[in-house]
């Protein structure tokens, strides 16, 4: 009986180990396929053309700069909203709110994180954008700003939950030490607790920004889809187009294997690399901070 | 100068600061409640039994969303079939077997990366691998596989957290009583971590159910006269349906748009609520 | 009559800390052998070697042999599962498994293949009686074990080990968190148990050591300093270091 148990356990253990490594396999697969369909772009379109400012695929203009600036302006706008509101709400939940409020708020914020992006985009078209058009007296309500507003809302739950976990993990002793020295709770939060949770909060911000960069449906529905170079301040209140929206909007109409097809995959590859780099930076920051903390505490 | 001023009036500063932060939190939370109530109000009128069980007519401008509901159900189930066993097994590996070395760090980095990839890039990947290379075509199979890989990081991280929360002393005691490692994992660790694991699965599937971009080129169709027969058929789906009727169909009755949004919202909220309920009820019954 | 023979055992953990240095001693059958000494002396490490629980930790190197009934249990070919059923352990903090009292006792039995309800019930009653806790729990065997008091939990943990009908019982500071009454009950149970089992105890106080020991071994920073009979070592120790520790001059 023991023998067959051993054999069974051996197989199960092997299967579990293989599952563990599967994540690496998938990342590799994704990268490979993006590369496979995206690299031909470099053979078919000149670099100078790719870096131009006209995106008009029908006439073979594949300048990706407008798309990049579109993504940038919407993401930066979203970050400017999500970071303060996200950290502020996290601080509220973790440090200020009474227990009963915390029990209600945490699930509520998690609920927001679960709302499908298409639903938010839908409300964006029907409610937010007409309202903004009237309120800000714009020719159209479908602008980068609308996108930033909604993206901020989408990124906030991520920032809140990760930051709140980080703040919660700060040992009680830190706060009590500060209070014992005469600091007010407010001072303690900003001078002791938040700095102590610095790496976790930074991770939260990066994850939130990552969420914003990667959002597709909402931006596609509310940012107006005009591939215009967005570098002036006023661009914030006019239509733009993000990289993600471009892929989603045009992939359906593209001929398999055409240049347009390859360029869209190329843009996908760029997005993949951006998120890869952001994640590597974020995890090395956290890793180094953890090492430093271990050295200090040992 | 300012620091001295702030320090001397620190209680006033605290009061103002607390109010500001509280307002911020309210400003974050109010839109959530508002959104849900608003859609409930606007969409409630359109939802009826015919709406839920009927097929669309007249280019989507009338009739029901039944095939979209079924489609979303199929996709969610398909995602579960692939992502749950793989994700939970990977979590067990990370929590119970993995040593603290370079390889494990690489696995964790890979998981973080999978979590950060834009949903539309998953769509491209699904198109490249499942639809074209493996020749599954635009199908429930291709879409489910794509959604599964996207859902994997959520399931792995929540499951790993649930497994790690089980006290180490249980494992030590179990082994000292003559259990093998796998017996310990199966009979004690996974059993105690199960509520947390299930919560994570539900939350992951909730996200998969609401996603549009990954299924755009891998499985979603706008109008199908019949329900899908096999995993190789394409399917309608609620998020995609909502997207198309709110952006591509001219003279689309607003009622039906809100109704569709409501159905999708209720689907998602039900999953979310059940996860929250499971989490809080099992926390109370915990024997450690 | 030696049940266990430890021959020149040395062990070093992965963090470089040398835990045992050249320990050689015999453990007498059907008696209580006490391992005492200040923290870090190697007592817990030695106990964890006896049931190969150290396999779970990062051990850098070890050497020597532990012979139980003539077989070296440190040999890689040893059936570790059978060993752990033969050599049971009770830990410092009571660790009730997240199940009912009854299931705690039957857990290991079911793993060993015992399925007959009658046998299981028999085992449950027998071991809870031997652990001197039967009367307190016999009416609530299906209640979660976590609902019991600390002293009761620890005796259930003892019963859990007894149920497997081991030959050796290891106890690592078993009463360190318990009140004097519970401690007394556990010690009384051990006094009865030694008639059938070989008992090795690492006490948390020197008074407990003196109370319980038939034989005693004094450990200091990984070395065995002195070994002797319980009635002599606490009143007339041979080594100066032993005397200093017993008299409380350090520790």
ipTM of this predicted complex? 0.91
Cβ pairs bridging B and C (under 8 Å): 60
Do B10 and A184 make contact, defined as CB atoms within 8 angstroms? yes
Q: Which of B224-233, C120-129, C231-240 has the highest mean pLDDT?
A: C120-129
**Residues in C 102-161 with any Cβ partner in B closer than 8 A:** 107-108, 111-112, 144-146, 157, 160-161
CA distance B238 to chain A (A): 10
Q: Retrieve residue B126's tokens.
A: 């699904």
Handedness of CA B97, B99, B102, B105 (dihedral sign): positive
pLDDT tens for A51-93 read 888 888 888 888 888 899 889 899 999 999 999 999 999 999 9
Do B216 and A20 make contact, defined as CB atoms within 8 angstroms? no
pLDDT tens for C89-131 read 999 999 999 999 999 999 999 998 888 999 999 999 999 999 9
What's this model's pTM, rounded to 2 decimal places?
0.89
Is the confidence at residue A297, as pLDDT, over 60?
no
* C53 contacts chain B (CB < 8 A): yes
For domain C2-246, which architecture applies? 3-Layer(aba) Sandwich (3.40)
Average pLDDT over residues B54-61: 78
Q: What is the pLDDT of residue B118?
A: 93
* B287 contacts chain C (CB < 8 A): yes
Model confidence at A169, in pLDDT bands (50, 70, 90)?
confident
pLDDT tens for C189-232 read 999 998 999 999 999 888 899 888 999 999 988 899 999 998 88
Between the alpha carbon of residue B229 and those of residues A256, B71, B140, B235, the distances in Å are 27, 11, 10, 10
* C81 contacts chain A (CB < 8 A): yes
pLDDT tens for A187-202 read 888 888 888 888 888 8
pLDDT tens for A129-154 read 888 888 888 888 888 899 999 999 99
Do B129 and A29 make contact, defined as CB atoms within 8 angstroms? yes
Domain spans in chain C, listed from the N-terminal domain onward? 2-246
Q: What is the pLDDT of residue B172?
A: 95
Helix locations, A39-51, DSSP H: 40-44, 47-50
Is the confidence at residue C57, as pLDDT, over 90?
no
Nearest residue to C54 via CA among C45, C63, C67: C45
Q: What is the pLDDT of residue A1?
A: 42
Partners of C79 on chain A (C-beta within 8 Å) are: 2
Q: Retrieve residue C139's tokens.
A: 């009416």
Cβ pairs bridging A and B (under 8 Å): 260
Q: Which residue of B has its CA nearest to C52?
A: B176
Do A217 and B203 make contact, defined as CB atoms within 8 angstroms? no
Is the confidence at residue B139, as pLDDT, over 80?
yes
CA distance A8 to chain C (A): 15
The CA distance from C76 to C79, in Å, is 8
Report the Cα–Cα distance between both ends of chain A, in Å, rounded.
47
Q: Retrieve residue A171's tokens.
A: 């040992």
Is the confidence at residue A3, as pLDDT, over 60?
no
Percent of chain C scoring above 70 in pLDDT: 99
Polymer length of chain A: 298
Q: What is the pLDDT of residue A49?
A: 83
Q: Which residue of A has its CA nearest to C113?
A: A1
Q: What is the pLDDT of residue A287?
A: 66
Is the confidence at residue B141, as pLDDT, over 70?
yes
* C56 contacts chain B (CB < 8 A): yes
B271 and B73 Cβ atoms separated by less than 8 Å: no
Q: Give the other-Cβ count within 10 Å of C240's Cβ.
A: 11
Q: Retrieve residue A298's tokens.
A: 């040992």
* C54 contacts chain B (CB < 8 A): no
Is the confidence at residue C16, as pLDDT, over 70?
no
The CA distance from B262 to B238, in Å, is 10
| CATH fourth-level superfamily of A41-297 | MetI-like (1.10.3720.10)
Give me chain A's average pLDDT, please: 86
Q: Which of A150-154, A213-217, B173-177 has the highest mean pLDDT?
A: B173-177
Lowest mean pLDDT among A46-50, B215-219, C237-241: A46-50
Partners of C84 on chain B (C-beta within 8 Å) are: 175-178
Is the confidence at residue B1, as pLDDT, over 70?
no
Average pLDDT over residues B103-117: 91
Higher confidence at residue B3 or residue A27?
Answer: A27
Percent of chain A scoring above 90 in pLDDT: 34
The CA distance from A259 to A257, in Å, is 7
CA distance C204 to chain B (A): 20
Q: What is the pLDDT of residue A253?
A: 83
Is the confidence at residue A179, as pLDDT, over 80?
yes
Q: What is the pLDDT of residue B3?
A: 76
Model confidence at A289, in pLDDT bands (50, 70, 90)?
low
The contacts of residue B235 (CB under 8 Å, 6+ apart) are B67, B70, B71, B74, B75, B140, B143, B219, B220, B221, B224, B228
Partners of C84 on chain A (C-beta within 8 Å) are: none
Tell me which residue in B93, B207, B264 faces A16 most closely, judged by beta carbons.
B93
């Amino acid at each position: 009986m023991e023998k067959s148990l051993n054999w069974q356990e051996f197989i199960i253990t092997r299967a579990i180990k293989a599952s563990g490594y599967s994540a690496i396999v998938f990342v590799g697969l994704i990268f490979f396929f993006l590369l496979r369909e995206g690299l031909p772009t470099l053979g078919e379109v000149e670099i100078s053309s790719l870096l131009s400012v006209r995106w008009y695929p029908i006439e073979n203009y594949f300048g990706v700069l407008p798309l990049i600036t579109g993504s940038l302006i919407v993401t930066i706008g979203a970050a400017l909203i999500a970071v303060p509101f996200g950290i502020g709400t996290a601080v509220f939940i973790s440090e200020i709110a009474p227990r009963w409020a915390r029990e209600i708020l945490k699930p509520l914020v998690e609920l927001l994180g679960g709302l499908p992006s298409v639903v938010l985009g839908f409300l964006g078209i029907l409610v937010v954008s007409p309202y903004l058009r009237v309120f800000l007296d714009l020719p159209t309500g479908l602008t980068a700003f609308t996108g930033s507003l909604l993206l901020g809302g989408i990124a906030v739950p991520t920032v809140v939950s990760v930051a709140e976990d980080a703040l919660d993990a700060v040992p009680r002793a830190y706060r009590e030490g500060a209070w014992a020295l005469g600091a007010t709770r407010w001072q303690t939060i900003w001078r002791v607790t938040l700095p102590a949770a610095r790496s976790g909060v930074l991770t939260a911000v990066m994850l939130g920004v990552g969420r914003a960069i990667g959002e597709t449906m909402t931006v596609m529905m509310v940012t107006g889809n005009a591939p215009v170079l967005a570098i002036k301040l006023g661009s914030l209140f006019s239509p733009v187009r993000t990289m993600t929206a471009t892929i989603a909007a045009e992939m359906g109409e593209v001929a398999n294997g055409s240049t347009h097809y390859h360029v869209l995959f190329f843009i996908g590859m760029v997005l993949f690399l951006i998120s890869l780099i952001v994640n590597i930076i974020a995890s090395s920051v956290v890793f180094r901070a953890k090492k430093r903390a271990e050295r200090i505490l040992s | 100068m300012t620091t001295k001023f702030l320090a001397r009036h620190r209680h006033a500063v605290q009061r103002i600061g607390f109010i500001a932060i509280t307002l911020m939190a309210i400003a974050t939370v109010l839109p959530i409640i508002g959104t849900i109530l608003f859609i409930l109000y606007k969409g409630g009128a359109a939802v009826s039994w015919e709406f839920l069980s009927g097929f669309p007519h007249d280019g989507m401008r009338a009739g029901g969303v039944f095939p979209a509901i079924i489609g979303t159900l199929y996709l969610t189930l398909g995602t579960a079939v692939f992502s749950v066993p793989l994700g939970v097994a990977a979590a067990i590996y990370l929590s119970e077997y993995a040593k603290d070395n370079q390889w494990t760090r690489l696995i964790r980095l890979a998981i973080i990366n999978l979590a950060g990839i834009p949903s539309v890039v998953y769509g491209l990947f699904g198109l490249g691998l499942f639809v074209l290379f493996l020749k599954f075509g635009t199908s429930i199979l291709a879409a489910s596989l794509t959604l599964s890989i996207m859902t994997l990081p959520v399931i792995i991280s929540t499951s790993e957290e649930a497994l790690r929360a089980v006290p180490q002393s249980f494992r030590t005691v179990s082994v000292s009583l003559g259990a093998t490692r796998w017996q310990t994992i199966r009979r004690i660790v996974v059993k105690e971590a199960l509520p947390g694991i299930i919560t994570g699965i539900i939350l992951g599937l909730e996200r998969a159910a609401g996603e549009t971009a990954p299924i755009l080129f891998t499985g979603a169709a706008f109008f199908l006269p019949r329900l899908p027969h096999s995993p190789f058929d394409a399917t309608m789906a609620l998020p995609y349906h909502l997207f198309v009727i709110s952006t591509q169909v001219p003279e689309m009755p607003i009622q039906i748009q809100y109704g569709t949004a409501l159905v999708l919202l209720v689907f998602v909220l039900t999953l979310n609520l059940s996860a929250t309920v499971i989490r809080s009820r099992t926390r109370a019954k915990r024997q450690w | 009559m030696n049940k266990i023979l430890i021959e020149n055992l040395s062990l070093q953990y992965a963090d470089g800390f040398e835990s045992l240095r050249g320990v050689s001693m015999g453990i007498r059958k059907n008696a209580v052998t006490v391992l005492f000494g200040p923290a870090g002396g190697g007592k817990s490490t030695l106990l964890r070697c006896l049931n190969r629980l150290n396999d779970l930790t990062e051990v850098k190197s070890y050497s020597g042999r532990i012979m139980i009934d003539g077989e070296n249990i440190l040999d890689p070919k040893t059936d570790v599962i059978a060993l752990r059923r033969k050599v049971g352990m009770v830990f410092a903090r009571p660790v009730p498994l997240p199940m009912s009292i009854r299931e705690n006792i039957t857990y290991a039995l079911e793993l060993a293949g015992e399925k007959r309800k009658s046998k299981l019930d028999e085992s449950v009653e027998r071991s809870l009686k031997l652990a001197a806790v039967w009367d307190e729990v016999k009416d609530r065997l299906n209640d979660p074990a976590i609902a019991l008091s600390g002293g009761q939990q620890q005796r259930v943990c003892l019963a859990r080990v007894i149920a497997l009908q081991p030959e050796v019982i290891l106890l690592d500071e078993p009463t360190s968190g318990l009140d004097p009454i519970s401690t007394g009950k556990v010690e009384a149970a051990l006094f009865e148990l030694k008639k059938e089992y070989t008992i090795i105890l690492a006490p948390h106080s020197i008074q407990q050591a003196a109370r319980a020991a038939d034989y005693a071994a004094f450990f200091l920073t990984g070395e065995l300093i002195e070994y002797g009979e319980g009635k002599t070592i606490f009143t007339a120790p041979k080594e100066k270091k032993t005397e200093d520790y017993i008299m409380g001059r350090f520790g």
